[in-house]
Amino acid sequence: MKRGYAAGLVVAVAVLLTAVVAYACWNDYGTAYPMAGTDASQVAEFQSETLELRDALLAKRIELRNEYAKPVPDSKRVASLRKDIVDLQTQIRTVADKYGLSGGGCPMDSGTMMAGSMMDTCPMDW
């Protein structure tokens, strides 16, 4: 009987810790509303200025995914595409900084995700 109580206590603590961490990440770090308080005209200017860069970034990501989907991906091509993606992201972030729109603190943007995966960027990523 004591094992049942102990197991229940462990599960309750795990659920509580998960809720606390989720709440802290959602509220304290601003990931819920990463662009709150920004001027809509600045966002529009940013979008128009980076349209070609964002299109190129999407094309490179698709190329990288297609390369990974091959039975034997070309490692030189993968490296080249990854470099191109990083260069494009850097250019886009430079423009975002210019307009005061630099990122929302997305945890997936930390470089821990595999580039080319479906989750290699945040929905709010530039």
- Classify residue 114 by its DSSP letter: P
Quick one: tokens of 124?
Answer: 């709010």
Which CATH topology does 36-126 take? Answer: Four Helix Bundle (Hemerythrin (Met), subunit A) (1.20.120)
Quick one: tokens of 54?
Answer: 């964002």
Q: Note the pLDDT tens digit of each residue in 7-59.
A: 777 777 777 767 766 666 555 554 555 566 678 888 899 999 999 999 999 99
What's the rounded mean pLDDT across residues 107-111?
42
Q: Which pLDDT value is given to residue 27? A: 55
User: Is 104 within 8 Å of 35 (Cβ atoms)?
Assistant: yes
Q: Which pLDDT value is given to residue 8? A: 78
Is the pLDDT at 86 greater than 60, yes or no?
A: yes
Give 34 or 89, the one with higher predicted confidence.
89
pTM of the predicted structure, to 2 decimals: 0.57
H or E stretch covering 54: helix 40-69
Is the pLDDT at 89 greater than 60, yes or no?
A: yes
Give 102 or 88, the one with higher predicted confidence.
88
Domain range annotation of the chain? 1-30, 36-126
Q: Note the pLDDT tens digit of each residue in 45-75.
A: 999 999 999 999 999 999 999 999 999 999 9
Backbone angles phi, psi at 22, to 5 degrees: -60, -45
